[in-house]
Chains A and B, each alone.
Chain A
Amino acid sequence: MTPLQKKQLKIALTHVALVLLSALFVMPILWMLTTSVKPINETMTSPPRWIPSQFQFWNYREAVMYGSEELGYIPFLVYARNTVLITILTVTGAVCSNALVAYSFARLKWPGRDLFFSVTLATMMVPFPVIMVPTFALFRWLGWVGTFRPLWVPAFFASAYSIFLLRQFFRTIPMELSEAAKIDGASEIRTFVDVIIPLAKPALAVVALFTFMGSWNDFMGPMIYLVDQKTFTLSVGLQAYQTTHGGTPWNLLMAASAMVILPIVVVFFFAQKLFIQGIATSGLK
């Protein structure tokens, strides 16, 4: 075989592998999508059907409208609004605070810095259930249970994973740039805002994406801290579809789930290049 043929074969094989594997990976999602437009009696048949007898696209409308005045049902739009509010606050707080803190760990010198960084890493190993109740007690003492505050306020105080990620990135930016700014008389804040942030945009985008995903899909937090049904978020609301005592409308649940993950998919698809470049330059070494 000529080298060119070899290359073409390789490309062809790659295509085949990609198609097969991606079909396998995406299969549960495909199932979710086809189920979301099925009539209810075709959702749990044995053997399972892929193609619905009729495409009930109005399931989506019904899933959204599956709510009424007295909140006896699932007010999807209310949950969506709540989730959006919380996510906006969380992502903003995360990006701002993590950038500041990572900058400190990466480019400023202060006593105990490295030790504290190791402690920061260790905090990632604490299982959430261990601190679940004392954290709840803390928020209860503050009077924040039943509000959104326990869900977004901690984001303004940075988090270990994002600190780690951004710190690695900041360390790849040559110190000469900062020094040049200093010689020009810039303060630390100036250096931070004018020199570092512009270069850090991809990494900050990564932090924003991962934080967005985390907050959008967060289940435990809202389940523990939100009390009144009208304050629930989408993830908790999805679960409520299952426990409604009128029977689980599987097709509506799948439609609702599809709508819940749609925003993240869209964001990811369009912003891919930015992220991959972002993580690449952060080195993680």
Chain B
Amino acid sequence: MIGRLVTLGVVVTVLAVAFVMGEQVVRRDEGTQKTTVIYWEKWTGDEAKEMRKVVDAFNRSQNKIFVRYLSISGVDQKTKLATAGGHPPDIAGIWQDQLCQMADEKSLMDLRPMADAAGLNRDYYIPAYYDALTYEKGLWALPSTPASVGLHVRPDLVPAEYASPETFPKTLEGLDELTRKISIRKPDGRIQMAAFLPSNPGWWNWAWPNYFGGKLIDGDKVTINTPEARRALNWYAGYSKQFGSQEVQTFQSGFANFASPQDPFMDGKVAAEMNGVWKANYIRVYKPGLKWFAVPMPYPADRPDLAGHANLSQDVLAIPRGAAHPKEAFEFIKYVQRQDVMEGLCAGHGKNSPLAKVSEKFFTTHPNRFIRLFDKLARSPKAFSPPMVGIYPQISSEMNVAFQQVSTGAKTPEVALADAQTRLEGLWATYRKQILGIQP
């Protein structure tokens, strides 16, 4: 009898302790007289450290507002759920390509009134970046760190006559020719070195039609199946044909994580790689001393008007609908937009700056040797961002599927694009009817 009671006592005590400890872990510290602004951000590790520096500096610079930085995995999903629940963070560090969908759902606050009042208008920024944040007459976020994409090249793996930014092929045809000439195969047929592979890293499949002069969205129509897109996909398929689709897939599956010395570019598996301004960070960490240079992405030979094109991306700061302290949140966002703060943050991340004005010091002290190129690419009139439409996630998925179908040879480019076009037209019509309330 006693034994039983003792057991019961122990169990209850253990339970009580576990319960209390559990509650303590999740309890948030109560605020002080300052207004606390909750800031959810996607970054961890070094990138988080850089933003924390900015947050700390802001908190020190005044004593009315306290910004609390939280590293949240799945920040976009959690922000949406929290907004739906009526308790969103005050600032959400999401991605530019989600803005249209969230704006259509009226889940973000229009920052234009506050931004204009603070002088943060289109003239203050590089136009392409600012335009990517405006949609349906609203300004839905301001940048935290932007990026542009270029072609990275290993001069030690290409013939001497091409081994400099000035002499490297400027056209896609030139790049194709180079690949045919210098790629190396192993005796058993597997690829040892491919000069270039459009499917590496394969993060921007949606952009290929743009690189051939096409557009995915035209006004309020979905324009996936255009001559430019077909041309892009045929060009892409050409690489599978050249090497053999199985060989390309096997080769690519052997690519190690981009953040390791076995990254294909650093490891010499490819001589040229399409990648963003941040690539230099990884090279610095994993293969310092590696010789490389960057050039704009090549253009089709018959479209010299596209020279200097690049696809852009941005990490942005948005204020969800229903945030508890929007004005104070905007004070912090405004602080981040200050030229010295922004340059410090972007240099810390190894990225370019989204502001129209940039200091010489930013260029000279920037860790990326080719930062001027990436800056120039962002300012190019030919720079472009993901299509500004609410069904962008679906478009991205369908494009990825189409590219996979083409590289495995399951479908021809024409069929793949036609199927994607039909499916997206259906999804777009449903979206317009259900979400935008536009009757067909």
Contact = CB atoms under 8 A, between A and B. Distances in A.
Chains A and B are bound partners: yes
Interface of A: 40-41, 44-46, 70-73, 81-82, 85-86, 88-89, 92, 136-137, 140, 145-149, 152, 223-224, 227-231, 236, 239-240, 243-248, 250
Given A145-B82, A148-B25, 17 more contacts: A44-B262, A45-B262, A71-B71, A72-B46, A86-B22, A89-B22, A92-B11, A92-B14, A140-B87, A148-B26, A223-B73, A223-B74, A228-B28, A229-B70, A236-B73, A239-B73, A248-B259
B43 interface: yes
B359 interface: no
Contact of A245 (B18, B28, B47, B262): B47
Interface of B: 11, 14-15, 18-19, 21-23, 25-26, 28, 43-49, 52, 70-74, 78, 81-82, 85, 87, 254, 256-257, 259-262, 282, 285-286
B42 to A, nearest CB: 9
A4 B129 CA distance: 83
Contacts of A85: 18, 21-22, 25
Nearest to A88: B18
B256 A44 contact: yes
A89 B18 contact: yes
B15 A92 contact: yes
B257 A231 contact: no
A73 B257 contact: no
B259 A88 contact: no
Contacts of B28: 228
A240 B71 CA distance: 11
A45 B261 CA distance: 10
Given A231-B25, A247-B286, A72 B257 contact: no
24 contacts: A44-B260, A70-B49, A71-B71, A85-B18, A85-B22, A140-B85, A140-B87, A145-B82, A146-B26, A147-B23, A148-B25, A223-B74, A227-B82, A228-B26, A231-B25, A239-B73, A240-B73, A246-B44, A246-B45, A246-B46, A246-B259, A247-B259, A247-B282, A250-B257
A38 to B, nearest CB: 13
Contact of A230 (B25, B45, B87, B259): B25
B197 to A, nearest CB: 17
**Majority secondary structure, A binding face:** helix
Contacts of A73: 44-45
B73 A247 contact: no
Nearest to A90: B18
Given A41-B261, A82-B25, A246-B259, A89 B19 contact: yes
A248 B45 contact: no
Given A88-B14, A148-B26, A44 B257 contact: yes
B173 to A, nearest CB: 32
Contacts of A145: 82, 85
B45 A72 contact: yes
Contact of A243 (B44, B46, B52): B44
B59 to A, nearest CB: 14
A89 B286 contact: no
A145 to B, nearest CB: 7
Contacts of B19: 89
B44 A46 contact: no
Contacts of B282: 247
A244 B25 contact: no
B402 to A, nearest CB: 26
A248 B49 contact: no
Nearest to B257: A248
Contacts of A236: 73
A36 to B, nearest CB: 16
A244 B73 CA distance: 10
Kindly name the residue among A70, A137, A246 whose own CB sees the greatest number of chain B CB atoms within 10 A. Answer: A246
A152 B19 CA distance: 10
Nearest to B81: A136
Nearest to A92: B15
Contact of A227 (B23, B72, B254, B261): B72
Contacts of B285: 246-247
A135 B342 CA distance: 41
Given A70-B52, A89-B22, A148-B22, A245 B85 contact: no
- Top 4 A-B pairs ranked by shortest CB distance? A247-B259, A246-B45, A140-B85, A44-B256
B153 to A, nearest CB: 22
A240 B26 CA distance: 19
Nearest to A84: B18
Contact of A46 (B22, B46, B254): B254
Contacts of A246: 44-46, 259, 285
B49 A72 contact: yes
A223 B74 CA distance: 9
B34 to A, nearest CB: 19
Contacts of A231: 25-26
B22 A227 contact: no
A73 B47 CA distance: 11
A243 B73 contact: yes
A244 B44 contact: yes
B85 A72 contact: no
Contacts of B45: 72-73, 244-246
B23 A229 contact: no
Nearest to B52: A70
Contacts of A147: 22-23, 26
A85 B25 CA distance: 10
Contacts of A240: 44, 73
Contacts of B82: 145, 227
A230 B14 CA distance: 22
B338 to A, nearest CB: 23
A40 B209 CA distance: 38
B52 A245 contact: no
